[in-house]
Amino acid sequence: MIALGQFLEVLIGGLMSGVLYSLVALGFVLIFKASGVFNFAQGAMVLLAGLALVRSLDLLVANGFPLWVAIVLGIGFAAVIMATTAWLIERFVIGPLINQDALTLFMSTIGVTFVLEGAAEMIFGSDVYPLRLFPTDAWFVFEGLFPGGILINKLDVWGALIAGILVAGLAIFFQRTKTGRALRAVADDHLAAHSVGIPISWIWFVVWLVAGLVALVAATVWGTKLGVQFSITFLALKALPVLIIGGLTSIPGAIAGGLIVGAGEKLAEVYLGPSIGGGIEYWFGYVLALTVLLVRPQGLFGERIIERI
Amino acid sequence: MLYREVGQFKTTYAEDMAIFPIRQDRIALAILLGIAFIGVPVLASFHIWPFGSEYLLWAILLPFLILALAAIGTNILVGYCGQISLGSGAFMAIGAYSAYKLATGVHVPLTSHGFAISIPPLPVLVSILLGGFMAAGVGILFGIPSLRIKGLYLAVATLAAQFFFDWVFLRVPWFTNYAPSGSVNAPELNFFGVVVRTPIERYLLCLIFVTVIAVLAKNLVRGNLGRQWMAIRDMDIAAELIGIRPLYAKLTAFAVSSFIIGVAGALWAFVYLGSWEPLAFSIDRSLELLFMVIIGGLGSIMGPFVGAAFILIVPIMLNVLPTQLGVPLSTETITHLQFIIFGSLICYLLIKEPHGFARLISIGKEKLRLWPFPY
């Protein structure tokens, strides 16, 4: 039973951390769906949101505000920062690059990444800032079934809950609101949407804003887990295989991809790692993504790619 | 009046199909090569300005040449064949580590079979070229998915190569000859008796490699193979319908591109770095190469040189400028400002000229044809 207990513990831990990857991958999907831009800057946006939140929080608490007021104001401030960023990106980078090919747009978001990383660290500082929004202690379940029980991190549970709420919220937003419908129209066909009177630059601003807010949510969870620091930008690279497995255009796909990558890499690390040298978490997600792509070139949930001449 | 092909009559097919059909292009190229092969070494050996110290040669020209070579390789894949690759850094690493292993001797103990494969240390030139071929082999392997996966999905798939090989060279001690720190030292650069040591010699060595490979690449992309690649890039299904085999075209592009990148990686490690760690070939290097190609111009051999110069020189300028102007800034602020300026500059260039410097060069040529009468 110990082996099974350990297996379940690794599996659950992996699934939970996979959900946290999904939080970052969601931002990618939103922007790709609506504008066809592969947004490499998502990791930098998480860093920016996290830094804005944690620094304003520290400042407010130091000035004697009660904690809950500080949290509300801090989140509000970070949201304003993300809105400004979204507007600037749409106005100065994505707007002028309309109708360029995907590679150019992708490279321009790498340029945006540099700017965001530099600006975020220059304005808010470049140390490691601890963030304490969620409990981080461990939690033991099924102690009756397995000796010692199964260790679950409470933060991961919070992360999973938040991701669930976020996906439900986004689904409602996309399916039930007028803006959401306009977003789907733009995603389907820019030109047609434009010609029926949907303001494209406004829609793109909304998309980058939503992606920014998703980044903020990701920052609260990841910031609590790792502390807000520069290395949080590498999350973008962790989220890529998640994205590819799920399909670039599917929101549920991002979650499913996260679960697969999270569970896969943790299990591989524990059961394969010792025999081939450890640290395989580093690339396992990518190899998994490559394998999935060979079977389904558009990812598990992506829209079927139809080729015409 | 200076640049036009009027009056240059071609009387043979060979002249008509020359690599550089316009006389002015040939003259410009000859001048450029003259400066690079004779001017720079002469100036450098007499320490005439701007070669007063070895800084320009070591810190700018040498990395410029090698990275330009790697960028040409990347451009063959991305610019000519249209297969986006984020794994160039990995192929540089494969070139570097294969060349290192071959130059220091390969020993594979197959204890279970009771014998061992041993290759004695090979000459440096042979190792570098074989390093390139090694990279080409792996390139073909990682190119196979490109037959099914396209566009940005392929870009992420090539990241698998990048991360996998980062890990391999970090974790498998066989590749670093069991060096305890994980960092390895290049062997002596002995080219059949000629030992390359000084910066000038290193510069000339890289220059020879770059010139030969650039001319070969230029020749290749205008021929049958290059046209197949471009057809695949422009529309792969249409290309397939007119009888181009995607398998052959894509995999040759991966092979040629990886070969060039692998040779560049071996040069980077042996000639420029001297001793290196896997970190020298990380994802940042891949992105840097992609930037060079895009800013220089997709689908051109001249472009990567301009792109490499830009990507290499701008950060150095940004580093030097504040101290030169006497602006009192902390090093941290300067680093952050560098990030911001570099990022904005890239975005600005992409917006102003999405086709890169190569496009600007060809616009310039068009203008020169009409100059000074713009009718």
A273-298 tens-digit pLDDT = 777 767 777 788 888 888 888 888 88
Choose the closest CB to B340 out of A106, A119, A244.
A119
Residue in chain B lying closest to A37 (CA) = B152
State the smallest CA–CA distance between residue B146 and chain A in angstroms: 9
Q: Where are the domains of chain A?
A: 2-230
> Across the interface, do B155 and A248 touch by the CB < 8 Å criterion?
no
End-to-end CA separation in angstroms for chain B: 13
Nearest-CA neighbor of B96 among B191, B168, B190? B168
State the smallest CA–CA distance between residue B183 and chain A in angstroms: 18
Q: Are residues B45 and B70 in the same domain?
A: no
How many Å apart are CA A256 and CA A242, to the nearest integer? 8
Number of domain units in chain B: 2
> Across the interface, do A299 and B237 touch by the CB < 8 Å criterion?
no
Distances (CA, A) of B207 to A121, B202, B261: 40, 8, 15
How many Å apart are CA B32 and CA B10, to the nearest integer? 25
Q: How confident is the model at residue A144 (pLDDT cuts 50, 70, 90)?
A: low
pLDDT at residue B241 in the model: 93
> Across the interface, do B346 and A110 touch by the CB < 8 Å criterion?
yes
pLDDT: which is higher, B225 or B338: B225
* pLDDT tops 90 at residue A248: no
CB B197 within 8 A of CB B189: yes
pLDDT: which is higher, A41 or B192: A41
Say whether B275 sits in a helix, a strand or coil.
strand
Q: Are residues B17 and B119 in the same domain?
A: no
How many Å apart are CA A40 and CA A24, to the nearest integer? 11
Q: Are residues B100 and B29 in the same domain?
A: no
CB A43 within 8 A of CB A235: yes
Tell me the residue length of chain B: 375
Nearest-CA neighbor of A7 among A238, A217, A267, A244? A267
**Residue B375 included in any domain:** no
Interval A162-172: pLDDT, tens: 888 888 888 88
Tokens at residue B306, please?
């301009």
> Across the interface, do B149 and A121 touch by the CB < 8 Å criterion?
no
Distances (CA, A) of B18 to B30, B222, B228: 15, 10, 20
State the smallest CA–CA distance between residue A31 and chain B in angstroms: 14
* pLDDT tops 70 at residue A145: no
Q: Which DSSP category does A96 fall into?
A: T
Q: Are residues B29 and B160 in the same domain?
A: no
Residue-range definition of the domain harbouring residue B38:
1-52
How many Å apart are CA A250 and CA A171, to the nearest integer? 11
* pLDDT tops 80 at residue B299: yes
Domain boundary among B33, B52, B71: B52
Interval A72-113: pLDDT, tens: 999 999 999 999 999 999 999 988 887 777 788 888 998 999
State the smallest CA–CA distance between residue A244 and chain B in angstroms: 7
Interval B102-116: pLDDT, tens: 998 887 777 777 777
**Residue B110 included in any domain:** yes
**Residue B152 included in any domain:** yes
pLDDT at residue A88 in the model: 94
Amino acid at A68: W
> Across the interface, do B337 and A118 touch by the CB < 8 Å criterion?
yes
Provide the mean pLDDT of chain B. Answer: 88
Report ipTM for this prediction.
0.84
Amino acid at B100: Y
Amino acid at B157: A
How many Å apart are CA A303 and CA A306, to the nearest integer? 9
Nearest-CA neighbor of A20 among A162, A152, A148? A162
Choose the closest CB to B351 out of A97, A115, A119.
A97
pLDDT at residue B75 in the model: 94
Interval A2-46: pLDDT, tens: 577 778 888 888 888 888 888 888 888 888 887 778 888 999 999
Residue in chain A lying closest to B157 (CA) = A290
Provide the mean pLDDT of chain A. Answer: 84
Pairing mode, strands B194-195 and B106-110: unpaired
Interval B20-37: pLDDT, tens: 888 888 898 999 999 999
How many Å apart are CA B200 and CA B208, to the nearest integer? 12
Choose the closest CB to A111 out of B145, B237, B346.
B346
Choose the closest CB to A307 out of B159, B172, B237.
B237
Pairing mode, strands B115-119 and B190-191: unpaired
Q: How confident is the model at residue A142 (pLDDT cuts 50, 70, 90)?
A: low
User: Distance from CA of residue A255 to its chain's centroid?
Assistant: 10
Q: Are residues B220 and B184 in the same domain?
A: yes
Q: Are residues B284 and B239 in the same domain?
A: yes
pLDDT at residue A1 in the model: 46
Phi/psi of residue B194, each to 5°? -90, 115
pLDDT at residue B98 in the model: 93
> Across the interface, do B336 and A119 touch by the CB < 8 Å criterion?
yes
Nearest-CA neighbor of A153 among A134, A132, A136? A136
Q: What is the CATH number of the domain that holds B227?
A: 1.10.3470
> Across the interface, do A122 and B287 touch by the CB < 8 Å criterion?
no
Q: Are residues B207 and B288 in the same domain?
A: yes
Residue in chain A lying closest to B171 (CA) = A277
Q: Are residues B40 and B64 in the same domain?
A: no
Q: Are residues B232 and B322 in the same domain?
A: yes
Q: How confident is the model at residue A148 (pLDDT cuts 50, 70, 90)?
A: low
Residue in chain A lying closest to B79 (CA) = A103
Distances (CA, A) of A38 to A154, A191, A244, A288, B287: 32, 19, 11, 20, 15
Pairing mode, strands A138-141 and B190-191: unpaired
Q: Are residues B106 and B4 in the same domain?
A: no
Choose the closest CB to B347 out of A111, A280, A297.
A111
Interface A–B counts its CB contacts (< 8 A) at 133
Q: Are residues B133 and B158 in the same domain?
A: yes
pLDDT: which is higher, B248 or A247: B248
Q: Are residues B88 and B102 in the same domain?
A: yes
Lowest-pLDDT choice from A203-207, B47-51, B60-64, B173-177:
B47-51
Q: Which of A29-43, A225-239, B236-250 has the highest mean pLDDT?
A: B236-250
How many Å apart are CA A203 and CA B240, to the nearest integer? 38
